[in-house]
Amino acid sequence: MTATATAEQNHDVKAKKQKRKLCIIASKGSLDMAYPPLILANAARMSGIEVHIFFTFWGLDIINKKKIDHLRMTPVGNPSMPMPQLLGVLPGMAALSTAMMQKQIEKLDFPPVSEFIEILMDSGAHIYACKMAMDMMGLTQEDVVDGAEVLGAMEFLEIAEDAQILFV
């Protein structure tokens, strides 16, 4: 093998190592669980990392056209809420906690979820809806945001090969 061929092989190996890929599985669809995968995906895209987000089960609410702009936050079962759990079951508490969260999001100048998804797709992030979860919930391609691809778990695992995977 010549020195030139060896140098080319070393360059190819370095190029493969430098190309990073992040795959995020978003499985929860409440307002407070919508932002973590979106923020991580945005940070990765800003760093030049290839991004794929797989929305499954309740995470589909984040890309569901009818629900995307109406995600709620519930204080019940959330030990980090600054209120006793018993108060969370009172009427109006979910609406109150959702409004409080939305106000905090606005203060931080984060876009609404629908706009955030659009920004991510415009930046080159790939958005996927889980076929099995969609079938289970009676959803079709028309129910999810434009640009989202519907695929099965096995197909996503093929995409996720050699990627860093985060489950949110």
Backbone angles phi, psi at 4, to 5 degrees: -65, -45
Q: Please, are residues 63 and 148 in contact by the beta-carbon 8 Å criterion?
A: yes
Ordered by where they begin, the domains of the chain are 19-73+113-167 (3.40.1260.10)
Residue 159 tokens, joined: 């995409």
pLDDT 10s digits, 45-89 = 999 999 999 999 999 999 999 999 999 887 666 666 666 655 556
Alpha-carbon dihedral sign for residues 8, 14, 19, 24: positive
pLDDT 10s digits, 143-157 = 999 999 999 999 999
pLDDT 10s digits, 90-122 = 577 777 777 787 888 889 889 999 999 999 999
Look up the pTM and report it.
0.82
DSSP three-state, residue 55: strand
